[in-house]
């Protein structure tokens, strides 16, 4: 699907056939990319709705968890809370996978907070701290799902931009230049055929005159 974009084309029938084929390929690619763009737009809209729903489901319990944490901060003080947080071991197991949407790899994070008991004593603690810890553990999967959706939206949006750029290039640059090349070569060949016809007619006339002169002599 190559063409000389410098405006210099070989005015031959073979070149005309080649460029017509290239134009057909470009138009086929354009239609395929149009279909891809439409599918990407539909899938993006679906993912945006899913992400909005995931955020709605996340916000209320997340705010409750932060409220419980803030209450424990007021009851226990920042130093005691920081001490407990520092000594709590990592409690979430994370596995990274991927899935494909329209040929695009989308990372998936699967987290398992497990059934973890208390890792701190009851002295100088509050019930609100236990509630906060429990609520945050329950939200791990929801947070991962929301992050996965946001990432999928970003990647599909980037692919949509690339697809649209290709469509614009085909529509406004490649296809018009192929058409211009076809027009130029066709006009050149037609003009050449007219010139050849005139030359042949002139030669034929001269031959006829010569033949007539020979017969007269």
| 149 in a structural domain | yes
Q: For residue range 31-90, list pLDDT tens digits in order.
A: 999 999 999 999 999 999 999 999 888 888 888 888 888 888 888 878 777 777 676 655
Closest by Cα among 123, 122, 95 to 107? 95
- Residue 196, CA atoms < 13 Å, CB-side half-sphere: 6
Tokens 């947070």 belong to residue? 143
| 8 in a structural domain | no
User: In this predicted structure, what is the pLDDT of residue 178?
Assistant: 95
Q: Where are the beta strands (DSSP E) in 25-138?
A: 93-101, 104-112
Chain mean pLDDT for the chain: 82
| 19 in a structural domain | yes
Per-residue tokens: 52: 């909005």
Q: Provide the number of structural domains found in the chain.
A: 1
Instruction: Give the SS3 label for residue 77.
Output: coil
pTM for this predicted structure:
0.70
Which residues, listed in sequence order, are joined to residue 99 by a DSSP beta bridge?
Answer: 106
Checking 205-214 for CB contacts under 8 A at 24+ apart, the result is none
- d(CA 173, CA 30) in angstroms, rounded, equals 12
- d(CA 51, CA 61) in angstroms, rounded, equals 16
User: In this predicted structure, what is the pLDDT of residue 36?
Assistant: 94
CATH of the domain at 158: 1.10.287.3240
| 7 in a structural domain | no
In which domain, by residue range, is 166 found? 13-216
Instruction: Give the SS3 label for residue 3.
Output: coil
| 143 in a structural domain | yes
Per-residue tokens: 214: 């020979």
Closest by Cα among 191, 183, 81, 197 to 132? 81
**What's the pLDDT band for 26 if we cut at 50, 70, 90?**
very high
**CB contact burial 154-180 (16+ within 10 A = b; e otherwise):** ebbeebbeebeebbeebeeebbebbee
| 188 in a structural domain | yes
| 126 in a structural domain | yes
Query: What number is the average pLDDT over the span 199-209?
Result: 77
User: In this predicted structure, what is the pLDDT of residue 6?
Assistant: 44
Of 12 and 167, which is predicted with more confidence? 167
| 36 in a structural domain | yes
Per-residue tokens: 127: 């019930």
Q: For residue range 145-178, list pLDDT tens digits in order.
A: 888 899 999 999 999 999 999 999 999 999 999 9
CB 83 within 8 A of CB 73: no
User: In this predicted structure, what is the pLDDT of residue 1?
Assistant: 46
**CB contact burial 206-215 (16+ within 10 A = b; e otherwise):** eeeeeeeeee
For 104, phi and psi rounded to 5 degrees? -105, 130
């Amino acid at each position: 699907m190559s063409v000389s974009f410098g405006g210099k084309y070989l005015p031959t029938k073979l070149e005309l056939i080649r460029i017509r084929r290239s134009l057909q390929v470009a138009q086929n690619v354009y239609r395929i990319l149009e279909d891809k763009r439409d599918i990407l737009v539909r899938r993006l809209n679906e993912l945006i709705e899913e992400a909005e729903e995931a955020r709605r489901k996340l916000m209320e319990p997340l705010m409750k968890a932060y409220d419980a944490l803030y209450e424990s901060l007021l009851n226990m003080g920042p130093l005691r809370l920081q001490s407990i947080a520092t000594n709590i071991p990592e409690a979430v197991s994370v596995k990274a996978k991927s899935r494909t949407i329209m040929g695009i790899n989308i990372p998936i994070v699967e987290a398992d907070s497990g059934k973890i008991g208390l890792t701190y004593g009851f002295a100088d603690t509050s019930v609100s701290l236990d509630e906060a810890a429990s609520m945050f553990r329950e939200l791990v999967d929801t947070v991962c799902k929301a992050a996965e959706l946001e990432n999928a939206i970003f990647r599909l949006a980037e692919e949509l931009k690339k697809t649209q750029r290709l469509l614009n290039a085909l529509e406004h640059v490649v296809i018009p230049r192929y058409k211009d090349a076809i027009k130029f070569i066709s006009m050149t060949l037609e003009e050449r055929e007219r010139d050849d016809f005139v030359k042949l007619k002139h030669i034929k006339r001269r031959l006829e005159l010569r033949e007539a002169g020979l017969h007269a002599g």
